[in-house]
Structure 1
Amino acid sequence: MPKVGMKPLRKEQLINATLESIAQYGLQKTTIITISKIAGLSSGIISHYFDGKQGLVDATVKHLLEQLKLALLEKIEQKDLSALERLHMIVEANFTPFQRSIPATKTWISFWAQSMHEPGLARLQHINSKRLYSNLLFSFRQLLNDELASSAAKQMAAMIDGFWLRSALSATPENEFKQAEQLCKKFINDLTQQNGDVTCP
């Protein structure tokens, strides 16, 4: 009889092993065998918990998305944040040490490429993009009129994704990630200052 609490622990082990396997071998060469070896668990347990490799890959992507969500919630849980501070927190949540780690970056890049071919992954990508845009729009609407807020949210979302991708593919990712975060914040500051005369009451 399995011990109480072992299922969540085993799932976490397998998700972490999937991240590591994708970092080492890429998504296409990651198999149930490579994952189980890294996790130190039998390959049968993957089918038991996730119905095979694709189910585990989906769960791993959902884990990345959940970490983004939790990072933001952790940063904005304090009360009375200004809209500008909240925008900075959204940027920081996308550039946390976890999201900059090699397993996470390689998995994200593999996920984006595969989402063009897998409807399930494409749905997760849509959810991710929509969530980022909605969070940005909510804060920009407190600083700008609706038209400018929508434009700013689209630009900022594209900058976050673009800078993140360029940094992940860079020969010096750590430095690039730090600079990317600073440039995203500078864009927010410059935009809100330039359009201070059209802020909403």
Structure 2
Amino acid sequence: MPKVGMPDIRKPQLVKATMAVIERVGLHSASISLISKEAGVSTGIINHYFGGKHGLLEETMRAILRELSDTVKIKLSGLPADAHQQRIIGIVNANFEGFQAENKVAKTWLAFWSYSMHDAQLKRLQRVNEQRLLSHLRIELKALLPDEQANLVAHGIASLIDGIWLRGTLNPEGIDAEKAREIINDYLDKQLAFYHPSSL
């Protein structure tokens, strides 16, 4: 966590620099020296406010997670409360469009996923993000399916989001948000048809 007193203007500047350097050279080669040069600040500032590379990576991931959370909220706020299937797709879209689909953000996500397997604090952040996604999905799915099945389908959609997103970031052409929407809608339609066959 950054120390209290870190100028607000510096945080986005350093987060942006961290992502740019990770995109260019990868996480392991993304040294404090390279990041500070990219941001136009001294290495001392990073070490003082973030305690080094690990703290800066944590703050970078917090910034990305906040952006994702805000995007989901914006998507949902523009949809009727009873448009549950549309709201599910809104949640899906938030994971594949705009900021989250930028190459530098995608590469930082991949680095974060890898790093979090061996770091308790980053693993906790990943867990919070996972639970937030599942919670959003369950809220909408419980209006359409029995509780047990809603939970199962929420996990299914989350797995599809992660898998499609991972494949997209490793593809030179990037993430195909339309294809992601098509695949997840197909999965959801089949789940709903199984429990509500008479509605077809």
TM-score, normalised with respect to structure 1: 0.89
Instruction: Report the AA paired with residue 57 of structure 1.
Output: L
1:165 matched to which residue of 2?
Answer: 166
The 3 A distance-change label for structure 1 pair 58 and 198 is farther
User: Structure 1: 5+ residue runs without aligned partners?
Assistant: none
2:146 matched to which residue of 1?
Answer: 145
Q: Distance in 2 between matches of 1:109 and 1:198?
A: 43
Aligned CA-pair RMSD: 2.0
Asked if structure 1 preserves the Cα contact closer than 8 Å seen for 2:93 and 2:177, the reply is no
1:132 matched to which residue of 2?
Answer: 133
- SS for the counterpart of 1:8 is coil
The 3 A distance-change label for structure 1 pair 37 and 134 is same
Asked if structure 2 preserves the Cα contact closer than 8 Å seen for 1:23 and 1:106, the reply is yes
Instruction: Report the AA paired with residue 151 of structure 2.
Output: S
TM-aligned CA deviation for residue 79 of structure 1:
5.8
Q: Distance in 2 between matches of 1:104 and 1:178?
A: 19
The runs of at least 4 aligned residues of structure 1 exceeding 6 Å deviation read: none
User: Structure 2: 5+ residue runs without aligned partners?
Assistant: none
Asked if structure 2 preserves the Cα contact closer than 8 Å seen for 1:91 and 1:185, the reply is no
Q: Distance in 1 between matches of 2:178 and 2:111?
A: 22
Q: Distance in 2 between matches of 1:186 and 1:67?
A: 27
TM-aligned CA deviation for residue 154 of structure 1:
0.9
Q: Distance in 1 between matches of 2:198 and 2:135?
A: 21
List per-residue Cα deviations over 1:10-64 (Å, max 9, x = no partner). 1110011001111011111111111111111121111222121111100001111
Q: Distance in 2 between matches of 1:166 and 1:79?
A: 29
Asked if structure 2 preserves the Cα contact closer than 8 Å seen for 1:145 and 1:198, the reply is no
Q: Distance in 1 between matches of 2:34 and 2:68?
A: 26
The 3 A distance-change label for structure 1 pair 55 and 198 is farther
Instruction: Report the AA paired with residue 37 of structure 1.
Output: K
Asked if structure 2 preserves the Cα contact closer than 8 Å seen for 1:87 and 1:188, the reply is no
Instruction: Report the AA paired with residue 71 of structure 2.
Output: A
State the identity %. Answer: 37
Asked if structure 1 preserves the Cα contact closer than 8 Å seen for 2:6 and 2:49, the reply is no
1:115 matched to which residue of 2?
Answer: 116
Q: Distance in 2 between matches of 1:96 and 1:49?
A: 31
1:100 matched to which residue of 2?
Answer: 101
Q: Distance in 2 between matches of 1:123 and 1:87?
A: 25
Q: Distance in 1 between matches of 2:177 and 2:131?
A: 23
TM-aligned CA deviation for residue 135 of structure 1:
1.0
List per-residue Cα deviations over 1:83-119 (Å, max 9, x = no partner). 1121011101111221111111101111111111111
